[in-house]
A and B are shown apart, each in its own frame.
Chain A
Amino acid sequence: MKRLLKRLRALVWRRNLDVDLQDEMAFHLAMKADETGDPMAAQRQFGNLSAIKESCRELWMFTSLESWWFDLRFALRTLGRSPTVTWVAIAALALGIGANTTVFTVVSSALSFEMGVEHVERLVMITPGESVRNDPFWPSFVNFRELRAQLKSIEDLAAYRFRPVNLSDSRTFPERYSCVQMTSSAWNLVSRQALLGRHVTPGDERPDAAPVVVLSHRLWQNRYGADHGIVGKTIRIDEVPRTIVGVMPSGIQFPEDTDLWTPLTLPDIITAQQQGELLLFARLKPDIPLAAARTEVDAVARRLAPPSSKPSSGLVADVRPFLELIGVYAGRRILFAVVIAVAFVLLIVCADVANLLLARATERAREISIRVAIGAGRARIIRQLLIESVLLASAGGCGAFLVAIAGLRWFDRISSQGQRPSWVDFSMNGRAFAYLAAVSICAGILFGLAPAFQLAKVDVNSAMKDGGRGAQGGVRGNRLSALLVVFQMALCVVLLAGAGLLIHSSLNWYSAPLGFNASNIMTMRISLPEIKYPHREERISFYTRLKASLESLPGVQAVSIASALPLGGSMRWLGEVEGAPADARHAPDVGSLIVGPDYFRVLQVPLHRGRFFNALDGVTGPQVAVVNESFAAKFWPGQDALGKRFRRFPQGSNEPWFTVAGVIPDIPQTHNRPLQTSPLVYVPYASDPQGAVYVVTRTTVPPQNLFEAARRTVQALDENLPAQELTSLQSRLDRQRLNVSAFSTLFTVFAAVALLLASVGLYAVICQSISRRIQEIGIRMAVGASRRDILKLVLMQGMRHTVFGLAAGLPLAFGLTRVLRGALVGVSPGDPFTFASVVIVLMLASLLGCAVPAYRAIHVDPLVALRFE
């Protein structure tokens, strides 16, 4: 401590120190001269005066710190001396680090799951077991109570169900919101208190309690303009007046994307024995593994299952992590793929910069050997070079900051077109910044290590004699940079393969034969509240009137309804075909849709056999259905499907038989799988009139021109009924494509950057080797080698790198593209066509990279080359 103070004082009085030392030495010399009588002899005996002063001064100064400062200034000067190399390196690093920071921020934000739930990783849902085909465990409210009493491995068991509701009040037009009805125990899992008022408590679940509702922050902001006096007001939810008792803080949308919460109570919402509506979730007790909970829940659920069910193998009830419910969690493999891809880009950048530095290192061998000769230690040399590369990386990091901000904006824009979880925040935060800084420094050390060790090993003698070309160091440097190029090529292959597969998928998506005409179709969702439209006749009548009103609008050709839109899913049906053995275990699994009379006409689907529905189907006469080609081919192969009969597999009750009235081509129904066709059955609306349907309208004008008129038409029929999700079918499909097109764009950008950098790397290496071999080439030409021979020589050298790169990269790509499986459309991860294209593209890029040095090599003038020194 005292020492530090003295040294600090010396730093301030630096001139004094120098003068003192000077005086002290002068006195010594003078005394010595007095003694010997000869000042020169005194000087000689004394030895190196400045060395003594230097070593005394070092004691007082912060020499190590100062030497860092000197190294830094020297590094700045060195970088400034070759501005092209410096700027190219900084630009490449800015891109690489910036892209990494962007992806890190996006992925870490998307996977942070800020749901306002403590220990979200312990949150589980209890679901029907997937492995048993019949009699899975669909809990009723009674079951829920029994489970809550019996289960030991979990706590806070709660039941909920999603229920889209119509919200109407005196303020503005009615709208559809996503409501979650959940038991008050669910609120124990939410870690945050209400922003205004309170959340639902057990008191609200008593039979005599007044109906209440809790609003989400989003709903409160958007619909009520953050009105602080909202608590205590009454709003109508599915025609039931409810009192607002609280508003939750922003970020709480538990379980997912919830606008409002109501209590889950008996009997006005649900009956005690009603099955198939409730979802159960709970928290695992600490230190209880998922498997143990699974065993216990299955055992208890088996006892609770209705006595009619036969014992079956497999789980009746399953316990799964709650996070699986969330889309991002399911897509984490794709996010992981993006992280790998962008890390590869950065590695390629590092290899490129390392190569640039290596090339310069050969030129600097002389400078370094002088430094070594006058006494710089190896560690000092390595430090100097690492400071240079970290400085370079830091400059790249500054550029990366701008790149990351731009990248995050892009992500923000893209993702706001689709759906994204509430906790996602694509902005530059402290964590992202720390990541950027860490990556910059690590990258600097990474790409600095190669040239640093290369140069630190320089043989002083030969380097000085060699006129700076460093014969020995050069060969080793060459091998190292060749290795780096091969490494780049290998990573490039992986990125190209990923990009190729995704581009292929994207093309497949856009060119997929959908089987209908998607242009000029307006879609909206209507949900008739059960309280107001309890009978099937009322629902049929409403949609008949709506169809008539909409069709009277100018610009509207035809109107129909459907339970799901194309690529919008379908309901699962266990079917039974007449004449086939009826076995519940092997009952065929088909998708079903309920559609209005003109549905196929609106979609412009061609009819293959039989007829479409008419207005009377399902109302009177025998039940009829329209099936798709896959259905006909699966159940009546080689036969005429018309007139054949099938029905839902009877489970207890008696099910009516449907007669096939028509056959249509396949229309994909699975979300995001435009090439997947499966057996589908279309049932007339009147056979199963549901409250919630999509209304599809074929228009002669752009659909968006009719949105306002459509909304007014709906409200003219029922002023409290919202027209939701008013949009065109085309934009719905575009939104689905967004996923694959965004990922393929991303990968294409990454692969293009990688390809560019790898071929530049190859170019640099070949260039360097040509300039080193220029005399050799001159001699070869002088003794009669033709230009073709020289060309072959250069190209062979370049292609060797590429071939090695391919050999290393193809197996790697083959293994890693599996990660993309979930995002691929109509192409397998190991698609040979894509891999062949990758090889060709890489070959072409390498040829391009070799072209310039090859051109230079064949135009070497032997006379000039031989004199070149």
Chain B
Amino acid sequence: MGRDRKPPDGELVQGTLDMLILKTLSRGAMHGYGIAQRVQQTSEEVLRIEEGSLYPALHRLELDGMIDSEWGQSENNRRAKYYRLTAAGRKQLTKEANRWRVLMQAIARVMEAS
């Protein structure tokens, strides 16, 4: 039924969510909440990841073998599921980052042309 739902403002460009997650995890293992927090902070509150998209994305990446998961203790002693980048995930991140760069430059050239 989600077919005709319009994307609201500030929603992530499709496909970039995976990249953001991989990028965030490239700095080390992290749980879901932490990933959302970090993206929000580094983007200076511009990007917000909704839980409704975050967890399905995490599980899909795990199924695809881009990330691994294991249960651990959080900083405030709670049981949390930590995600970690795999070798395949690292490769994927490089690929997507490159593509992203090319795309951004192309868009920038178009937008800045008089």
| B residues less than 8 Å from A2 (CB atoms) | 65
- Contacts A23-B79, A23-B81, A27-B81 given; does A56 touch B59 at CB 8 Å: yes
Query: Which residues 55-69 of B sit at the A interface, judged by CB distance below 8 A?
Result: 55-56, 59-60, 63-65
Q: Are A56 and B55 in contact (CB-based, < 8 A)?
A: yes
| A residues less than 8 Å from B51 (CB atoms) | 28, 46-47, 52
| A residues less than 8 Å from B79 (CB atoms) | 23, 27
| Bound Cα distance from A109 to B55, whole angstroms | 62
| A residues less than 8 Å from B81 (CB atoms) | 20, 23-24, 27
Asked whether any CB of chain B lies closer than 8 Å to the CB of A36, the reply is no
| Bound Cα distance from A31 to B34, whole angstroms | 9
Query: Which residues 26-78 of B sit at the A interface, judged by CB distance below 8 A?
Result: 31-33, 50-52, 55-56, 59-60, 63-65, 74, 76, 78
Q: Are B63 and A6 in contact (CB-based, < 8 A)?
A: yes
| Bound Cα distance from A28 to B54, whole angstroms | 11
Contact of B50 among A6, A7, A47 (CB under 8 A): A47
| A residues less than 8 Å from B52 (CB atoms) | 47-48, 51-52, 55
| Bound Cα distance from A46 to B33, whole angstroms | 11
Asked whether any CB of chain B lies closer than 8 Å to the CB of A59, the reply is yes
Minimum distance in angstroms from B24 CB to a CB of chain A: 15
Asked whether any CB of chain B lies closer than 8 Å to the CB of A537, the reply is no
| Bound Cα distance from A162 to B63, whole angstroms | 77
- Contacts A47-B50, A59-B56 given; does A31 touch B33 at CB 8 Å: yes
| B residues less than 8 Å from A30 (CB atoms) | 78
Asked whether any CB of chain A lies closer than 8 Å to the CB of B110, the reply is no
| Bound Cα distance from A7 to B65, whole angstroms | 12
Asked whether any CB of chain B lies closer than 8 Å to the CB of A364, the reply is no
- Contacts A47-B50, A48-B52, A375-B1 given; does A27 touch B59 at CB 8 Å: no
Task: Convert A1-43 into 0s and 1s, putting 1 for each residue whose CB lies closer than 8 angstroms to a CB of B.
Answer: 0110011000000000000100111011011101000000000
| Bound Cα distance from A47 to B36, whole angstroms | 15
Asked whether any CB of chain B lies closer than 8 Å to the CB of A60, the reply is yes
- Contacts A3-B63, A6-B63, A60-B63 given; does A27 touch B55 at CB 8 Å: no
Q: Are B63 and A52 in contact (CB-based, < 8 A)?
A: no
**Residue of chain B at shortest CB distance from A6:** B63
Contact of A27 among B1, B31, B65 (CB under 8 A): B31
Query: Which residues 1-15 of B sit at the A interface, judged by CB distance below 8 A?
Result: 1
| Bound Cα distance from A3 to B50, whole angstroms | 26
| B residues less than 8 Å from A55 (CB atoms) | 52, 55-56
Q: Are B76 and A34 in contact (CB-based, < 8 A)?
A: yes
Asked whether any CB of chain A lies closer than 8 Å to the CB of B97, the reply is no
Asked whether any CB of chain A lies closer than 8 Å to the CB of B80, the reply is yes
| B residues less than 8 Å from A47 (CB atoms) | 50-52
| Bound Cα distance from A52 to B56, whole angstroms | 7
Inter-chain contact count A-B, CB under 8 Å?
Answer: 54
Minimum distance in angstroms from B46 CB to a CB of chain A: 18
| A residues less than 8 Å from B78 (CB atoms) | 27, 30-31
Q: Are B63 and A56 in contact (CB-based, < 8 A)?
A: no
Minimum distance in angstroms from B48 CB to a CB of chain A: 10
Interface size class of B (residues with CB under 8 A): 20 to 34
Total residues of chain A contacting the partner, CB 8 A: 24
Taking chain B's interface residues, is the majority helix, strand, or loop, or is none over half, making it mixed? mixed
**Residue of chain B at shortest CB distance from A4:** B63
| A residues less than 8 Å from B32 (CB atoms) | 24, 27-28
| B residues less than 8 Å from A34 (CB atoms) | 76
| Bound Cα distance from A55 to B52, whole angstroms | 9
Minimum distance in angstroms from B93 CB to a CB of chain A: 19
| A residues less than 8 Å from B76 (CB atoms) | 34
Minimum distance in angstroms from B63 CB to a CB of chain A: 6
| Bound Cα distance from A66 to B76, whole angstroms | 40
Minimum distance in angstroms from B95 CB to a CB of chain A: 19
Q: Are A7 and B63 in contact (CB-based, < 8 A)?
A: yes
Q: Are A60 and B56 in contact (CB-based, < 8 A)?
A: no
| B residues less than 8 Å from A46 (CB atoms) | 51
Q: Are B33 and A59 in contact (CB-based, < 8 A)?
A: no
Minimum distance in angstroms from B55 CB to a CB of chain A: 5
| B residues less than 8 Å from A59 (CB atoms) | 56, 59-60, 63
| Bound Cα distance from A375 to B2, whole angstroms | 10
| Bound Cα distance from A6 to B31, whole angstroms | 21
**Residue of chain B at shortest CB distance from A59:** B59
| Bound Cα distance from A51 to B53, whole angstroms | 11
Q: Are B80 and A27 in contact (CB-based, < 8 A)?
A: yes
Q: Are A28 and B56 in contact (CB-based, < 8 A)?
A: no
**Residue of chain B at shortest CB distance from A32:** B33
Q: Are B55 and A52 in contact (CB-based, < 8 A)?
A: yes
Query: Which residues 477-508 of A sit at the B interface, judged by CB distance below 8 A?
Result: none
| Bound Cα distance from A28 to B51, whole angstroms | 9
Most buried by A among B31, B59, B79: B59
Most buried by A among B60, B65, B74, B80: B80
| B residues less than 8 Å from A6 (CB atoms) | 63
Minimum distance in angstroms from B58 CB to a CB of chain A: 8
| Bound Cα distance from A46 to B56, whole angstroms | 14
- Contacts A46-B51, A47-B50, A59-B63 given; does A27 touch B33 at CB 8 Å: yes
Q: Are B59 and A60 in contact (CB-based, < 8 A)?
A: yes
| Bound Cα distance from A27 to B33, whole angstroms | 8
**Residue of chain A at shortest CB distance from B31:** A27
| Bound Cα distance from A20 to B62, whole angstroms | 14
| B residues less than 8 Å from A56 (CB atoms) | 55-56, 59
Q: Are B33 and A3 in contact (CB-based, < 8 A)?
A: no
| Bound Cα distance from A32 to B31, whole angstroms | 13
- Contacts A20-B81, A23-B79, A52-B55 given; does A28 touch B63 at CB 8 Å: no
7 of the cross-chain contacts (CB-CB < 8 Å) are A3-B64, A7-B63, A23-B81, A31-B78, A48-B52, A51-B52, A52-B52
Q: Which 6 A-B pairs have the closest CB atoms?
A: A31-B33, A56-B59, A55-B56, A28-B33, A375-B1, A59-B59
Give A residues with C-beta under 8 Å from B: 2-3, 6-7, 20, 23-25, 27-28, 30-32, 34, 46-48, 51-52, 55-56, 59-60, 375
- A30-B78, A52-B51, A56-B55 given; name 12 further pairs at CB < 8 Å: A2-B65, A6-B63, A23-B79, A24-B80, A25-B55, A27-B32, A27-B33, A27-B74, A31-B33, A47-B51, A52-B56, A55-B52
Give B residues with C-beta under 8 Å from A: 1, 31-33, 50-52, 55-56, 59-60, 63-65, 74, 76, 78-81
